[in-house]
A and B are shown apart, each in its own frame.
Chain A
Amino acid sequence: MTVPDGLPTGDRLYRIHWLPGTDTLRGTCHCGAERTADDPVELWQWLLDHPRDHLAQRAVPATRRTPADAARRTSVPA
């Protein structure tokens, strides 16, 4: 069938989940960074401002990332 069973996949996806049972939105960048917010305008702004960080991360091959790099990927300031 043509109906998708799951969410779209790809290399450059921005995703915003509205967390069930809450008013909270969780934004996920294709680099893995996440942030929660209760305002979709603010969250899109954060996601779209984010590519500056992507460019810096792409310069570092994944196999050579240090723990500090990995931590930085998942702890972008809210």
Chain B
Amino acid sequence: MPFARNQWYVAAYSNEVGRELLARTILGEPLVLYRATAGTAVALADRCVHRRFPLSQSRLDGDTIVCGYHGFTYDETGSCVFVPGQQRIPRTARVAGYPVVEQDTLVWVWIGDAEPDPGTIPRAPWLDDPGYTVVRGMAPLNARYGLLVDNLMDLSHETYLHGGYIGTPEVANTPITTTVDEEKGVVHVSRHMDDAECPPFYARSTGIQGRITRWQDIEYHPPCLYLLHSRIAPQGVYPPAEGPDSAAFHAEIVYAITPSTEHTTYDFWAVARDFAVDDESVSEYLYQSNHTVVMQDVTALNTLEQVIAAEPERYQELSINIDTGGLAARRLIERMIGAPTVGASR
């Protein structure tokens, strides 16, 4: 499926970018990332201009990358500062540099030719908030990014694909409200379960025994950032009219959906919680559980990718009520693909 260019995408977590060269392919463009000695993250095209050798398989020398094949050397901007055996550096000896913004422990890169506006990058502040504890990971997906968008926008699949972890019957059975904010370019999907079974994911991490009031409020900022505000409370406990919602447990589930190639995707996932923040056993449990859930999705979406690749063109899929949010997300992505500067309208 086509890509939405001229947008910001998450290339890595901050702690992945260091003094080791990191290769990531985003929207089909190979990038090499590293951290300069001053601490700034750098993203350059991962192909030496000379004979295309991947710079990610080369070495750092201070803030420059020395190509592992013939020694062409590039600075942080992508300009070549040394070529072997001669004084003159050809005018065209440079690799593309990508705009980078590091925010909320995420390394965002701008993919496109238009002028980037860092102010349009959506926020995930819980990932860098001392009041929250975060577990996170990244799963490479052998499936197109649209399948992950579909998956995350329709959480009714939790009941069937993730039963025993985060799914209970009430998720699929509770009606949703979908809102598209045209000005901000955001899709909201709200599912409020007043009286629900508590899945193991939350029973074991919060200690709640018995039934719960469970709210799922999705904010999707296409194309890349997906937020799920998860509120868990003993059944019948609602937020007070004023003041903090301290009787409830809050988990901020963050996904960054970064297309790698037409048929592969980086699935960045994180769970930030405001409860049991110092309890490492809860962190370990949530990490293992969410990793399992993500891998259940990965297995299913990898299978779907193969199914789609083998099917005849113009297969007519069916959409029902549970797909209302996913359909809205698809439309905003399609609009971005058709309008190169749509990000500026946020």
Q: Which residues of A contact B (CB under 8 A)?
A: 1-5, 7-8, 10-20, 23, 25, 30, 38-41, 43-44, 48
In the complex the two chains form, is A44's CB within 8 Å of B239's CB? no
In the complex the two chains form, is A10's CB within 8 Å of B181's CB? yes
Residues on B with beta carbons closer than 8 Å to the beta carbon of A4: 217, 229
Residues on B with beta carbons closer than 8 Å to the beta carbon of A25: 321, 324
CB distance from A11 to the nearest CB of B (A): 7
Residues on A with beta carbons closer than 8 Å to the beta carbon of B215: 3
B331 within 8 A of A: yes
In the complex the two chains form, is A10's CB within 8 Å of B183's CB? yes
Residues on A with beta carbons closer than 8 Å to the beta carbon of B186: 8
A-B contact pairs, 15 of them (CB 8 A): A1-B244, A1-B250, A3-B217, A7-B190, A12-B181, A13-B180, A14-B179, A15-B177, A15-B178, A15-B180, A17-B177, A19-B175, A39-B319, A40-B324, A41-B319
Main secondary structure of the interface of A (DSSP, over half): loop
Q: Which 4 pairs, one residue from A and one from B, show the smallest C-beta to C-beta distance?
A: A18-B175, A12-B182, A40-B324, A14-B180
Residues on B with beta carbons closer than 8 Å to the beta carbon of A19: 175
In the complex the two chains form, is A40's CB within 8 Å of B176's CB? no
CB distance from A45 to the nearest CB of B (A): 10
B245 within 8 A of A: yes
B323 within 8 A of A: yes
> What separation, in Å, do the CA atoms of A16 and B153 have in the docked complex?
14
Q: Chain B, 160-180, contact with A by CB distance < 8 Å: what is the 0/1 string?
A: 000000000000000111111
> What separation, in Å, do the CA atoms of A20 and B176 have in the docked complex?
9
In the complex the two chains form, is B324's CB within 8 Å of A8's CB? no
In the complex the two chains form, is B229's CB within 8 Å of A8's CB? no
Residues on A with beta carbons closer than 8 Å to the beta carbon of B126: 2
Q: Chain B, 317-337, contact with A by CB distance < 8 Å: what is the 0/1 string?
A: 001110110011001000000
**Number of inter-chain CB pairs below 8 Å:** 81
Known A-B contacts A2-B252, A7-B190, A10-B184; the reply to A40 vs B179 at CB < 8 A is: no
Residues on A with beta carbons closer than 8 Å to the beta carbon of B178: 15-16
Known A-B contacts A10-B181, A10-B184; the reply to A18 vs B324 at CB < 8 A is: yes
In the complex the two chains form, is B327's CB within 8 Å of A15's CB? no
Taking a contact as CB atoms closer than 8 A, the residue among B183, B229, B245, B274 that contacts A12 in the complex is B183
> What separation, in Å, do the CA atoms of A28 and B43 have in the docked complex?
44
> What separation, in Å, do the CA atoms of A8 and B190 have in the docked complex?
10
B94 within 8 A of A: no
Taking a contact as CB atoms closer than 8 A, the residue among B175, B179, B229 that contacts A7 in the complex is B179
In the complex, which residue of chain A has the Cβ closest to the Cβ of B326? A40
Residues on A with beta carbons closer than 8 Å to the beta carbon of B190: 7
In the complex the two chains form, is A3's CB within 8 Å of B181's CB? no
Residues on A with beta carbons closer than 8 Å to the beta carbon of B248: 3
Known A-B contacts A2-B229, A40-B320, A48-B331; the reply to A7 vs B177 at CB < 8 A is: yes
In the complex, which residue of chain A has the Cβ closest to the Cβ of B274? A1
B35 within 8 A of A: no
> What separation, in Å, do the CA atoms of A18 and B274 have in the docked complex?
31
CB distance from B248 to the nearest CB of A (A): 8
Taking a contact as CB atoms closer than 8 A, the residue among B184, B239, B327, B328 that contacts A5 in the complex is B239
Residues on B with beta carbons closer than 8 Å to the beta carbon of A12: 181-183
> What separation, in Å, do the CA atoms of A11 and B184 have in the docked complex?
10
CB distance from B339 to the nearest CB of A (A): 15
In the complex the two chains form, is A44's CB within 8 Å of B328's CB? yes
